[in-house]
Chains A and B, each alone.
Chain A
Amino acid sequence: MPPEVATATEPSGPAIADAPVAIEVRDLKKSFRIPTQRVDSLKERVVHPLAQREYRELRALDGVSFEIHQGEFFGIVGRNGSGKSTLLKLLASIYRADSGTIRMAGRLAPFIELGVGFNPELTARENIVLNGVMMGLSPREVRRRIEAIIEFAELEEFADLKLKNYSSGMLVRLAFSVMMEADADVLLIDEVLAVGDAAFQQKCSDAFREMKAQGKTIILVTHEMATVEAYCHRAMLISEGQIQSIGDPAEVGRDYLRLNFEGDGEETAEEVLHEQSADVRIVDIALQDEAGADISTIEYGKEIRLHLELEALRDLPGLDVGFLVSNADRIDVLNFGIPVGERERAREISANQRVTVEARVANHLAAGRYFVHCGINRAFGGGIALYAQDALDFLVFGGPETKGVVVPELEIEASIGEGSS
């Protein structure tokens, strides 16, 4: 495993900004013409020669310009229908742009979806060759790497099995391994990080870090901010076909959250993300030890006491208070919450009333750094009242060595049977 693990979340700094440009996108535009009445056959064409002259124009991308430098790990986020998939397909030469230019240095391995082009009737070996050539390798190069690919995918015993007999996990591992070995200069990856079991995921993330270390340019398209924050040097948020923000992944992540919460309630997301909104205000949020004193480090096995005090700023029908604990890799580990107020009666919580929430959680978290986010929803599906990201952070120490994120209380036994000798 490369030693970059600790620096994985570090921003790029000036070194990458100085690197030569790997991808240059200038004023890219793409719109789709959606016929109001679709003509699917020649017969209709002949019978109604004047039909299908009306179109609805859907602007998927509206003048997008950006640059990605060589060796950069670049994240693209956006909601469904924001235009990020269109951008990806333009970069991958699947669609043709209406106007604007894309220029790219080196060879691209497009991975819009894992396992594209796999033929279920062929064996893994045959599929690797086919897929590798699709990725731009020559058949000879693929055959040279075939053992490495099979080994990385941990499929040695199944290499001559037809793919139709593979499980979905095996397919994903195979596809991922081919991509890893394709040795492209630019990789285009769409939502493929969450594949396979935990061990294979670890392998993938190691491989990503290695590629990062080798100076490969990687574009990751996802809706999962945690991944972007964990891997990317820079990120870009697309909304309605335009670049909303570009730069530091953490900042882009906040913009993305803001965008996601917009429209759920009448107030702007800006307010929601702070410790105060039009509905409620966080008076106090803290971790406490058993004596009630505020702390920021907790020993494994002890109790985590989470204390939250809210003030209602107007009459509220009730609230749902939720906590989310995520680790340093931004993986959500714990999620719990409680409804406040009886939902049948309106105006359960009146203005200026205070609400206190106390949570006690047995600390089975593995040693490391954790973040607490606090989300407060209005009852009756009234949307988000407040979302405080990174409201708290704390360290866990002690506990057994583990590769997992939690070490639950467990009973595990082993015994050696009586042998004949």
Chain B
Amino acid sequence: MSAEADTRPSLPLRDVRGPSALGGGTRRFFDLLWLMSVTEFKRVYFGTVLGYLWSLIRPLALFGVLLFVFAHVLKVGSNLHNYPVILLLGIVQFTFFQEATSNAISSVVAQEGIVRKTQFPRLVIPLSTVLTAFFNFCLNLVVVFVFILAWGVTPAWTWLLYPFALLALFTLTTALSMAFSVLFVRFRDVAIIWVVGAQVLFYSTPILYPLGEKGIAKNEPQLEELLMLNPLGVIFEQIRVWILQEPRKLAPTAVEAAGGWLHLIPALVIFLSVCAYGVWVFNREAPKIAEQL
């Protein structure tokens, strides 16, 4: 018995540093992240026949209601040919943002067992909720693009820039999710605050009221400038420009809406600060989560 023990190569001693955001090796981190996102996605959307349909029905129903109210009752976008497309794309994108962040809030607390009882890279938990929502979003995008093409929009080379805009959206979503998931461990009202916060963000992003000449803010350049303080607004507006190729007067680029490159700096600073804060607060809290649950 001991002879066999001696034949085992003696392994080098390594420091055990305790829990962290990425702890336990990068390969394991990505394996776990992928597995958790995929299994959760499969469970929710393919567990039942209606599973995926439900996730599609939600943004579509919202789209239908808003289209009716804004285009036909309030006549906001009735004079704008592309209004339904802008609305649908915006709603689906925002649904991803909202679903990912709100699911992430309680994710770490919901996975209490894993956090408190096993060595687990903490970052996997909020990240996998974001990824699950992202998979769902990608499926929804297929429907959206079928709609866009059916609407008569022709593909252009600027469509190739869309992934970069999505990357920015994904990054912002992830940073917020990271921050919320660990803050929720200590402050349970984060969830309630974010319900309101997400509402505010929804209305301060040009989804319901397109910018430009036929939009709601046509006579108020200051309002457009104000809206471009919101990083989400910048991303969404630029996506509209890239995807729909409307005449410039109808759809100003983010730079034009903000009133020049320099006016985009606040949005960029907000974007970068949110990202930095998300990473910082998550790294600070990650080692302590297990003790605080």
Tell me the A residues contacting B by CB distance below 8 Å. Answer: 4, 7, 12-13, 15-16, 19-22, 24, 32, 40-43, 45, 70-71, 89-97, 101-106, 108, 110, 112-113, 116-117, 119, 121-122, 126, 129-130, 133-134, 136, 138-139, 185, 212-215
Kindly identify, within residues 1 to 34 of chain B, every residue whose CB is under 8 Å from any CB belonging to chain A.
1-8, 10-19, 23-25, 27-28, 31-32
**A4-B1, A96-B18, A133-B32 in contact; A19/B113 too (CB < 8 A)?**
no
**Cα A101 to Cα B116 with chains together (Å):** 21
Pick the 10 closest A-B CB pairs, nearest first. A96-B18, A15-B2, A215-B5, A71-B5, A105-B11, A20-B10, A102-B16, A41-B189, A103-B13, A96-B287
Q: Which residues of A contact B28 (CB under 8 A)?
A: 133, 136
Q: Which residues of B contact A129 (CB under 8 A)?
A: 35
Q: Which residues of B contact A95 (CB under 8 A)?
A: 18-19, 287, 290-291
Tell me the B residues contacting A by CB distance below 8 Å. Answer: 1-8, 10-19, 23-25, 27-28, 31-32, 35-36, 39, 43, 47, 113-120, 186-190, 193, 287-288, 290-291
Q: Which residues of A contact B36 (CB under 8 A)?
A: 130
Complex: chain B residue closest to A3, CB-CB: B1
**Cα A266 to Cα B263 with chains together (Å):** 80
Contact of B19 among A4, A96, A105, A130 (CB under 8 A): A96
A116 touches B39 (CB 8 A): no
**A96-B287, A116-B113 in contact; A139/B31 too (CB < 8 A)?**
yes
A96 touches B288 (CB 8 A): yes
B188 touches A16 (CB 8 A): no
**Cα A108 to Cα B27 with chains together (Å):** 15
- Where chain B touches its partner, the secondary structure class is helix
A117 touches B19 (CB 8 A): no
**Cα A40 to Cα B35 with chains together (Å):** 33
**A94-B119, A116-B118, A212-B1 in contact; A41/B16 too (CB < 8 A)?**
no
**Cα A45 to Cα B117 with chains together (Å):** 29
**Cα A121 to Cα B39 with chains together (Å):** 10
**Cα A102 to Cα B120 with chains together (Å):** 18
Contact of B4 among A45, A104, A215 (CB under 8 A): A215
**Cα A41 to Cα B193 with chains together (Å):** 11
**A91-B16, A117-B118, A121-B43 in contact; A45/B31 too (CB < 8 A)?**
no
Complex: chain A residue closest to B18, CB-CB: A96
A40 touches B117 (CB 8 A): no
Q: Which residues of B contact A105 (CB under 8 A)?
A: 10-14
**Cα A13 to Cα B6 with chains together (Å):** 14
B8 touches A71 (CB 8 A): yes
**Closest-CB distance, A275 to chain B (whole angstroms):** 37
Complex: chain A residue closest to B32, CB-CB: A133
**Closest-CB distance, B285 to chain A (whole angstroms):** 12
**Closest-CB distance, B244 to chain A (whole angstroms):** 40
B4 touches A93 (CB 8 A): no
Q: Which residues of A contact B7 (CB under 8 A)?
A: 215
A133 touches B16 (CB 8 A): no
A41 touches B187 (CB 8 A): yes
**Closest-CB distance, A158 to chain B (whole angstroms):** 18
Q: Which residues of B contact A212 (CB under 8 A)?
A: 1
Contact of B35 among A16, A101, A133 (CB under 8 A): A133
**Closest-CB distance, B107 to chain A (whole angstroms):** 14
